[in-house]
Amino acid sequence: MKHRVVFLDRASLKAAVRKPACALEYVEYDKTAAREIVTRLAGAGIAITNKVPMRAETLAQLPQLKMIAVAATGYDVVDVPYCKQHGISVANIRNYAVHTVPEHAFTLILALRRNLLAYRQDVENGVWQRSDNFCFFAHDIGDLHGSTLGIIGEGAIGQSTAAIGRAFGMRVLFADHAPPKVQGVTFSPHEQVLAESDVLSLHCPLMPSTRNLINLAAFRSMKRNALLINTARGGLVDEAALIQALDEGLIAGAGFDVLTVEPPRDGHPLLDLRRPNFILTPHIAWASDGAMQFLADQLIDNIERWDAGAPQHLVT
């Protein structure tokens, strides 16, 4: 069957995207504001979205819509219960970021654990140049070997992050729902993982049950030398509590690739958090060239498989 297919935020994907074989018409928009969604999807049977929200009040105005192809693993931008109730299929992307996100997470971990930003700043400020010794030890440097890596989320990305941690000689603990989804994963209670982790890395979806999962109480239960890494979703962490935790020394540092509001605007408190033990990157952990092309290919595969009656990667 032929469909009108509309990609609402094509600019969010830096990769070649082929036209779906089932497309009667294929339209791409670089970005789409909320007020433009209904007009642009008029007559469309298939919508492609990365971050453009598809809420119930919008979907109710699109009776011809039969499928939403999400150009990401996380699908919190889609009102899944509404789609399930009204027969709209929703497919997401699986396993495309199993290398790029863990590599980015460990880029943040290593930079923070070895205080690279602080030492780089000292070089830029001429501190090393004025030193009497060939080196100087102004900031702590910690090894990963022998430390504990706590992971919240035992999916493919969490598993890949664990593999890198083990290669560094780290002890790995998983905190997720019990029993675990993945065979061979030993479940550890959430409180134990918070208390014992030297590095805590988040790799779980954003849901009502995980929003502000890391709050002030969680920070108070963590080690004072612990690092918090978030390459998953911004809403997993109470950002005001994060600032307080860093100010009070409840944790040693944090590396974030995601924020609750993206893109952040002037006035976002984490934009002003200019300190060497906090690193903020602009939601790029997923964005290696190889990962994005894998995503783009699977995105269209999902549409074509659904149209052929053999759907894959459906969340509803």
Q: Is the dihedral of CA 197, 200, 205, 206 positive or negative?
A: positive
Share of the chain above pLDDT 90, in %: 86
Q: What's 18's DSSP letter?
A: P
Residues 253-275: b if buried by 16+ CB within 10 A, e if exposed: bbbbbbbbeeeeeeebebeebee
Is 183 a residue whose pLDDT tops 80? no
Question: What is the spatial distance between Cα 292 and Cα 303, in angstroms, rounded to a whole number?
Answer: 17
Question: If we measure between CA atoms, which residue out of 108, 100, 139 comes closest to residue 254?
Answer: 108
Q: What's 19's DSSP letter?
A: P
What are the structure tokens assigned to 91, written together? Answer: 């497919």
Indicate the pTM of the whole model. 0.86
**In which band, very low, low, confident or very high, does the pLDDT at 159 lie, cut at 50, 70 and 90?**
very high
CATH 3.40.50.720 residue ranges in the chain? 3-96+290-307, 100-280
Contact present, 140 and 115 (Cβ < 8 Å): yes
**pLDDT tens digits, one per residue of 193-232:** 999 999 999 999 888 999 999 999 999 999 999 999 999 9
Question: What is the spatial distance between Cα 200 and Cα 194, in angstroms, rounded to a whole number?
Answer: 7
Question: What is the spatial distance between Cα 161 and Cα 185, in angstroms, rounded to a whole number?
Answer: 13
Q: Catalytic residue numbers?
A: 233, 262, 283
Question: What is the spatial distance between Cα 177 and Cα 195, in angstroms, rounded to a whole number?
Answer: 17
**pLDDT tens digits, one per residue of 222-242:** 999 999 999 999 999 999 999
Is 178 a residue whose pLDDT tops 90? no
Q: Considering the domain delimited by 100-280, tell me its CATH architecture.
A: 3-Layer(aba) Sandwich (3.40)
What are the structure tokens assigned to 207, written together? Answer: 């849901």
* pLDDT confidence of residue 272: 87
Lowest mean pLDDT among 107-111, 128-132, 167-171: 128-132
The CATH fold assigned to 3-96+290-307 is Rossmann fold (3.40.50)
Is 190 a residue whose pLDDT tops 90? yes
Question: What is the spatial distance between Cα 60 and Cα 298, in angstroms, rounded to a whole number?
Answer: 28
* pLDDT confidence of residue 180: 66
**pLDDT tens digits, one per residue of 34-77:** 999 999 999 999 999 999 999 999 999 999 999 999 999 889 89
